[in-house]
Amino acid sequence: MAPRKFFVGGNWKCNGAGDDVKKIVTVLNDAEAPRAPSVKVVVSPPFVFLQQVKGLLRPDFAVAAQNCWVRKGDAFTGEISAEMLVNLQVPWVILGHSERRALLSDQMISLSGKFPRKIVHNLTFVADKVAYALSQGLKVIACIGETLEQREAGTTMEVVAAQTKAIAEKVSDWTNVMLAYESVWAIGTGKVASPAQAEEVHDGLRKWLNTNVTPAVAESIRIIYGGSVNGANCKELAAQPDLDGFLVGGASLKPEFVDIVKSATVKSSSA
Ligand code: PGA
């Protein structure tokens, strides 16, 4: 099977006002980043900047939306549908980001491994979004991850397996799905998971997929890590065998994003 191509996503979140869009894109366009085939780079500005960024960005980098609606567009004020992203030729979408899950009060409550009805509902909601976006031809970065409380309760694998299971129940073709393991306690906190902690979960997810989906999906799916990734910690993380790239928040707004993209070379040199 072909090696999994390293992937670096930049999630700008709710940033990009004023001159920021131009500044960030200029840094990316001027960067001497490793090119395809060794790494795929996708940046995710807020919806309103998607078209502008797509127009300005170097052709070897792509754009992603940060969310989309769970089904066909209709009377859902403030939502953006998968069809609209397809119309704009936006190829990727991030779904189930923990900040979105928190807005839906999804999965933020720990019940020592037990999932109440509301949480099960919200797991399904994210999974439905994944399935619908795929049906429209989008590629999906599906985010999963445990809270600090869940980690401390020893339920990390149980939590990420439940999140992945919800997706597996709705998705049969995994070709266009990537999992972003983002430990919630590491997002925006400067508290990055250690390479060993990240690898343990990525390896556990691959084992789960091997048993519950197919060995081929377990082998081919990209599982990327997110949570306080920066220019200083990316190389050691990138060297982990089951870690196929990053979803970067804060550092994706800074020139060090280019260093994170370059960490892909850790993989090619060990391949
Ligand atoms: P962070 O965010 O890199 O700022 O921690 C990661 C994410 O939310 O995807």
**Residues 198-244: pLDDT tens digits?**
999 999 999 999 999 999 999 999 999 999 999 999 999 999 999 99
- Which residue, 161, 141, 159, is CA-closest to 150? 159
Coarse DSSP helix, strand, coil percentages of the chain, rounded to the nearest 5 percent: 45, 15, 40
Best residue among 14, 187, 253 to mutate for probing ligand 1's pocket (most ligand atoms within 8 Å of CB) is 187
Does residue 247 line the site of ligand 1, with CB under 6 A? yes
φ, ψ for residue 191 (rounded to 5)? Answer: -100, 85
Which residues are within 8 A (CB) of 120 and not within 5 positions of it... i.e. 6 or more apart? 166
Model confidence band, residue 269 (pLDDT cutoffs 50, 70, 90): low
Q: Whose CA is nearest to atom 3 of ligand 1?
A: 249
Contact 50, 30 (CB under 8 A): no
Q: Whose CA is nearest to atom 2 of ligand 1?
A: 249
- Beta strand 92-95 with 223-226 is unpaired
In this predicted structure, what is the pLDDT of residue 35?
A: 65
In this predicted structure, what is the pLDDT of residue 123?
A: 83
For 52, the token pair is 């502008």
Note if the bond before 37 is cis, omega within 30 degrees: yes
Rounded distance between C-alpha atoms, residue 3 and residue 268, angstroms: 10
Does residue 249 line the site of ligand 1, with CB under 6 A? yes
What's the 266 CA to ligand 1 centre distance in angstroms? 21
Contact 242, 199 (CB under 8 A): yes
Model confidence band, residue 101 (pLDDT cutoffs 50, 70, 90): confident
Rounded distance between C-alpha atoms, residue 64 and residue 59, angstroms: 14
What's the 250 CA to ligand 1 centre distance in angstroms? 6
In this predicted structure, what is the pLDDT of residue 107?
A: 42
What's the 75 CA to ligand 1 centre distance in angstroms? 31
pLDDT in tens, 67-79: 999 999 989 889 9
Alpha helices in 169-271 (DSSP H): 195-212, 215-220, 234-238, 257-262, 264-270
pLDDT at 186 over 50: yes
State the Cα angle at 101 between 95 and 106, rounded to 5°: 130
The residue that leads in pLDDT, 57 or 18, is 57
Domains of the chain: 6-270 (3.20.20.70)
Over residues 87-111, mean pLDDT:
76
Residues forming the active site? 97, 182
Distance separating the N- and C-terminal Cα atoms of the chain = 13
Does residue 187 line the site of ligand 1, with CB under 6 A? yes
Atom of ligand 1 lying closest to residue 13 CA: 8
Rounded distance between C-alpha atoms, residue 191 and residue 97, angstroms: 18
Does residue 11 line the site of ligand 1, with CB under 6 A? yes
